[in-house]
Structure 1
């Protein structure tokens, strides 16, 4: 035990194995061997020994508690919950075990149960820093920020140097947009605990928020090296697409590593008997069946699916359902709420439902489960509404169009590309603001309402040159309330000034707005400027809805070509640049001809409404032809 307690795991493992060679039925030594393996970083190898200990003596709560901790570390939260509950049957007043159970329930999204376990732990041990820390994390996820802050303050008061409580406090501040405070907290934690994965992850998110993308990417990489936690890795996959200084080879390498980790962590499902059905069973997996841009784009397709030939199953991971969730639930043939289920349980449900084609929507974003493809829960698996490869060998296809997935493109994909005639599908709601097509006097107004993380240094250089060439013009930047953050706003201002702009030309809109007010803001914009290497998509469509021309420069990657796809689909090829000089020239030309563009705004909206981009029936028909084709291919080898 002395070697084990001192962290000399190699020596401890050798000692335990010698004991077990003579006494293989010694339960405590089997348990300690498993625990030492876990603490030495070999979680998967630890499980057989701890399970053997439980087989020998299942009445010791600590055996179940530690097995649960190992299972949780491997992402098998449902199994962990069962073992924590077994431990509590044996030791119901174990506050630490209840706190650990709460953490597993929190990861599963079962926040009400998690809060109950935290409060029970605090009844048995009111001064528990861990229980207060976990309660704060649960309340934060539930949106109860004031209560969460109080619980985390208690945790930090009870134990001053408590990195996990400080990191949960950093998460709360990050969620509230307090970037400077988050940076200070994370760096303080890492000074005490240089191996704290959560602090690296939060630091990366904060740095990404303020466009320090190289530093953010480094922090994600450090976090993943410490523990290959899937959510952190998915965030890293998004971050690298914002970077202009990263070549396609390195982006491909990071995606392949993600795929490798997913394949290692995924379980292997037993082969089930084929379930024959007259209809092809399509499973849509998403956390975005709610008020969300992906849902807005996908909703028309769901409404137009041919229910004679296709049975539509929706697997919804929605923590906070809303009115849009109710609409999606009503359109699904089968609706399965997977919130609170771990990946293994979801994979078994999909396999049990006999899904023929599993479609993962926008896999790298939000709470979506891109990693589910590694479980091979369905014979055919497709990535839809993502912006790059998944990196997962078991993801068979990715859907785009000839602009997003050019036939001789150099971008790396593990998936086989499938092409629709036009990928983007938009929807014009009934309550759209009126388009202002009246001629206006005054200087040209440029605008960009994209996520500011997409605004690269080369983009700012070209924008500054445009403003320098038109010294009376203005640039309006707006995205929710992000520009209230000085750490984001001021470097953008400085880069634009360095590129030739004047301070009075820059307008950083800082107020968050409802959708209608946000769209009306386009009436004040003459020309929308797109970003690269990660361009707009929803914002490009919104600008065109309001009749505003969008200037884009595709970069030869899926993430950079969405605006090109939309514009060329509308026949607006003249707005697509092939160089920085051409981008600048197109933007200046549009500004100089702004009165012509403004007079054509109503016509542009009507052209959009009549185009294939808003023809959901046609779009869905093409999608269904793809589904039939890949299913035939799967059936015939």
Structure 2
């Protein structure tokens, strides 16, 4: 018996020796295939080796490395884990397993394995810089930079380490240091694709968009079709306003990598900007399925909900994004904007969230030291206007009249245009200014430098917290006096903002202590130019036999609360019709959803007409079919209210409990139509019913309204501008007196 066992053991040993010899003979072929990039062959040969010797370390290690390089991460993890079980102290295998776990986004596990590799081999520079990348993805940026520095100290000519350090510096917004790191990497390896890409990202952070585009194109020339870079170029095209090219890049990136988060988010972004809500929501949901903690997907999905009128759902998404990333500025801005549409929010809530922006973002920005200034209280004042909306945008309609009618003997006007988009309105703004600065590609510090160099006395924000704002420049306080006005005039919450142009109705005295700024009253919060070539039109109800109400406002201003009121009104007037006009109604998803909402409130589809985008003269002409306009709430109309009044169509409004919900009523009161402004829902319906029942009086008012608007201090743009200038002069005199 013992001889039989001994014989078998001897035979097994001979077989193992034979298998080992055969396996060792096969392994060089696997290595050759691997080095030639023939991963399928390399992996097949490794499989043959392992069928002969299952614990062959070199075959397991090579199989894992090949599987990693070819994207077969599950196989790579399995092979490398087995290799480490055979040789637990092999630093190279541990480092490769760390790369696999990193690729699988299992960063804690990757970090542990990489630290084991470095403990075994302290001078292992590639493992060090790989650990740095892992730490960066764990948001441990300072630690990541420290590890990359260790790698560089060990190997000063290691281009990858410089590049990787630059990426970590970039995420800390240490842009100049990041650029230096990328430049060093490129000095060592001129065709280093990732370093070229990194320089593009630095340029994006600095708003140097053309430089960024050149860098991304150069990186793609080195490695064509790299999905991550194509997607980033798409995001850059969005910033440049080149939406078609952006979407083409996102689609190309997704064709290569259908799950690429950056491309899906970019697709969502561009679809939102082009009013295509259904595909935007689909892209967001795909991201959240694979990454539930994507704060960017959450804000774009929230934006989609807001555009459909679901403000509460939108705010929940923005809050969730802020739980994940408390200093996520875009989430705070979108929450600020959404709360203006939320019925449960009053002035205190609105100003509290604006202070939140300051505490999370603005307070961390160093303020400028101002140079000595000529404090002559009566000298010519230099006024600087900062906006991304010197173009065909509703905001431009509110400040272009002031630009046009400034007294240039007393005021030097400089416009800082922060958008790459230009059109005929841009040319009108430029013609009205004494100085024009294309600031779209200036970083915040560069723009602040320019404002200081221009010796601006009064710097005016025309955006508030709306898209394209440069409040981070105003946080730096590059001018002695700073004012927020017109474009999104609801207060900023910035202690560095001195004044806020409003009016006594929009911001009553009782709530003014809640604002960071000192409120200065104008005849109205905003004004607009008279309508060009507007001709009086007859009252439609005289020919139709029923009243037609008009709502020429953003779709997202139509809240459930206002639908309740409009439903009561329409029930009281069974023959009445409603016309809704807004560019977003070109999107069938939004249009059908809005009609369904009206139907749910008892206003049938046959009584609702939806009109989409049109040229402005066609937009104004559509008021000819409207008897009475209905102001939405809690977010009122602004420009749309003025347009309606100038076209002869009076507006029913209601005063709410925030600046956003009082602006419409303030405009209506400013031209003397106090009896068209309600204090509550019941009053709103009563006013509409009263005037709908008096067609003769309504026709007379229609004929008189344009002249009444033009004769009011709020509607006469020359008078209005003089009031603005009185404000600037008063601010300047106060400043001079305080410093004397």
Instruction: Work out whether the TM-score is over 0.5.
Output: yes
Name 1:298's counterpart in structure 2.
Answer: 399
Change (3 A) 1:144 1:403: closer
| Residues 28 and 188 of structure 1: CA distance in aligned 2, closer, same or farther (over 3 Å) | closer
Displacement, 1:145? 4.8
SS at match of 2:500: strand
Tell me the SS of whatever aligns to 1:531: coil
Q: Does 1:236 align with 2:335?
A: yes
Mapped to 1, the partners of 2:197 and 2:678 lie a distance apart of 56
CA distance in 1, matches of 2:664, 2:168: 46
Please name the residue that 1:94 is paired with.
Answer: 192
1:508 equivalenced with 2:610 (yes/no)? yes
Q: Distance in 2 between matches of 1:593 and 1:45?
A: 74
1:447 matches 2:550: yes
Q: CA deviation at 1:133?
A: 1.6
Alpha-carbon contact 2:415-2:437 (below 8 Å) kept: yes
Deviation at 1:546, TM superposition (A): 0.9
Instruction: Give 1:205's aligned residue.
Output: 303
After the TM superposition, which of the residue ranges 589-598 and 98-107 deviates more from structure 2?
98-107
SS at match of 1:440: helix
TM-score, L = length of structure 1:
0.88
Cα distance in structure 2, aligned partners of 1:39 and 1:244 = 39
How far apart are residue 86 of structure 1 and its match? Answer: 5.1
Offset of residue 409 of structure 1: 2.6
Secondary structure of the corresponding residue to residue 614 of structure 1: coil
- 1:415 aligns to 2:517 (yes or no): yes
CA contact (8 A) 2:531 2:647 kept: no
Structure 2 SS opposite 1:399: strand
Moved more, 196-205 or 552-561: 196-205
**1:571–1:325 distance in 2 versus 1, CA, 3 Å:** same
Deviations 1:429-467 (A, max 9, x none): 433355335742421111101101011111000101101
Partner of 1:460: 563
Q: How far does residue 525 in structure 1 lie from its aligned partner after superposition?
A: 0.6
1:361 is matched with 462
Question: Are the structure 2 counterparts of residues 319 and 53 from structure 1 closer, same or farther at C-alpha, using a change threshold of 3 Å?
Answer: farther
For residues 55 and 336 of structure 1, do their structure 2 counterparts lie closer, same or farther at Cα, with a shift above 3 Å needed?
farther
Displacement after TM superposition at 1:302 (Å): 1.9
- Shift of the 308–144 alpha-carbon distance from structure 1 to 2, 3 Å rule, reads closer
Corresponding residue for 1:533? 634
Contact 2:241–2:421 under 8 Å retained in 1: no
Select 1:215's aligned residue among 294, 310, 313: 313
1:170-319 aligned at under 5 Å gives the runs: 170-227=268-325, 228-269=327-368, 271-276=369-374, 278-319=379-420
2:347 touches 2:511 (CA, 8 Å); kept in 1? no
Higher relative contact order, chain-length normalized (CA < 8 Å, sep 6+)? 1
Q: Does 1:567 align with 2:665?
A: no
Q: Structure 1 residues 84 and 601, CA, compared in 2 at 3 Å: closer, same or farther?
A: farther
Deviation at 1:504, TM superposition (A): 2.4
From 475, 497, 506, give the equivalent of 1:374: 475
3-state SS of the aligned residue for 1:276? coil
Alpha-carbon distance between aligned partners in 2 of 1:110 and 1:273, rounded to the nearest angstrom:
27
Q: Does 1:469 align with 2:568?
A: no
Q: Alignment RMSD, CA only?
A: 3.5
Partner of 1:404: 506
User: CA 1:88–1:436 in 2, change beyond 3 Å: closer, same or farther?
Assistant: farther
Say which SS state the counterpart of residue 475 (structure 1) adopts: strand
Asked if structure 1 preserves the Cα contact closer than 8 Å seen for 2:489 and 2:502, the reply is: no
Shift of 1:543: 0.5
User: Does residue 591 of structure 2 align to residue 493 of structure 1?
Assistant: no
Q: Is the 8 A contact 1:69 1:80 kept in 2?
A: yes
What is aligned with 1:341? Answer: 442
2: CA distance, partners of 1:51 / 1:342: 28
How many angstroms apart in 2 are the aligned matches of 1:633 and 1:581? 45
Contact 2:305–2:313, Cα closer than 8 Å, also in 1: yes
Q: CA deviation at 1:78?
A: 7.0
The answer to whether the Cα contact below 8 Å between 1:267 and 1:344 also exists between their aligned partners in 2 is: no
Match of 2:45 in 1: none
The answer to which structure has the higher helix fraction is 2
Post-superposition offset of 1:39: 4.2
Name stretches of at least 5 consecutive residues in structure 1 with no aligned partner. none
**Whole-angstrom CA distance in 1 between matches of 2:547 and 2:359:** 50
Q: Would the alpha carbon gap of residues 508 and 127 (structure 1) be closer, same or farther in structure 2, given more than 3 Å must change?
A: closer
Post-superposition CA distance 1:521-557 (Å, at most 9, x none)? 1111111001111100100001011100100001031
Task: Assess, with a 3 A threshold, how the Cα gap between structure 1 residues 424 and 126 changes in structure 2: closer, same or farther.
Answer: closer
What does the per-residue CA deviation read over 1:584-637, in whole Å, with 9 as the maximum and x for residues that have no partner? 011111211234212332311111122212333332222222223223333416
Moved more, 210-219 or 567-576: 210-219
How many Å separate the matches in 2 of 1:621 and 1:52? 64
Distance in 2 of aligned mates of 1:223 and 1:79 = 29
Distance 1:590 1:295 in 2: 32
2:709 alignment partner, one of 603, 608, 611? 608
Cα offsets for 1:74-126 (capped at 9, x unmatched): 55667755654554344332222333333444455544433332222122112
Moved more, 458-467 or 354-363: 354-363
Q: Which residue is equivalent to 2:254?
A: 156
Secondary structure in structure 1 of the residue aligned to 2:705: helix
Shift in CA distance, 253/90, structure 1 to aligned 2, threshold 3 Å: farther
Q: Distance in 1 between matches of 2:730 and 2:525?
A: 18
* 1:449-490 residue CA offsets vs partner (Å, 9 max, x unmatched): 11010111110001011010010111111111x234454344
Tell me whether 1:624 sits opposite 2:725 in the alignment.
yes
**506, 521, 529: which one pairs with 2:622?**
521
Q: Residue by residue, what CA displacement relative to the aligned partner does 1:553-580 show, whole Å, maximum 9, x if unpaired?
A: 0103111111222111111001000111
Q: Summarize deviations over 1:256-309 as a string: whole Å, max 9, x none.
A: 21111222442343x243143743222211111122222222122223333333
Summarize the Cα distance change of 1:630–1:149 in structure 2 as closer, same or farther, 3 Å threshold: closer
Per the alignment, residue 428 of structure 2 pairs with: 327
Moved more, 429-438 or 534-543: 429-438
Question: Per the alignment, do residues 410 and 53 of structure 1 end up closer, same or farther by CA in structure 2, a change over 3 Å counting?
Answer: farther
Q: Deviations over 1:369-393 (max 9, x none)?
A: 1232221222222111233231222
Task: Name the CA shift for 1:457/1:132 in 2 (closer, same or farther; >3 Å).
Answer: same
Please give the alpha-carbon distance, in whole angstroms, between the structure 2 residues aligned to 1:422 and 1:396: 19
- 8 Å CA contact 2:523, 2:714 repeated in 1: no
Gap regions ≥5 residues in structure 2: 1-93
Task: Report SS of the residue matched to 2:440.
Answer: coil
- Is residue 700 of structure 2 the alignment partner of residue 599 of structure 1? yes
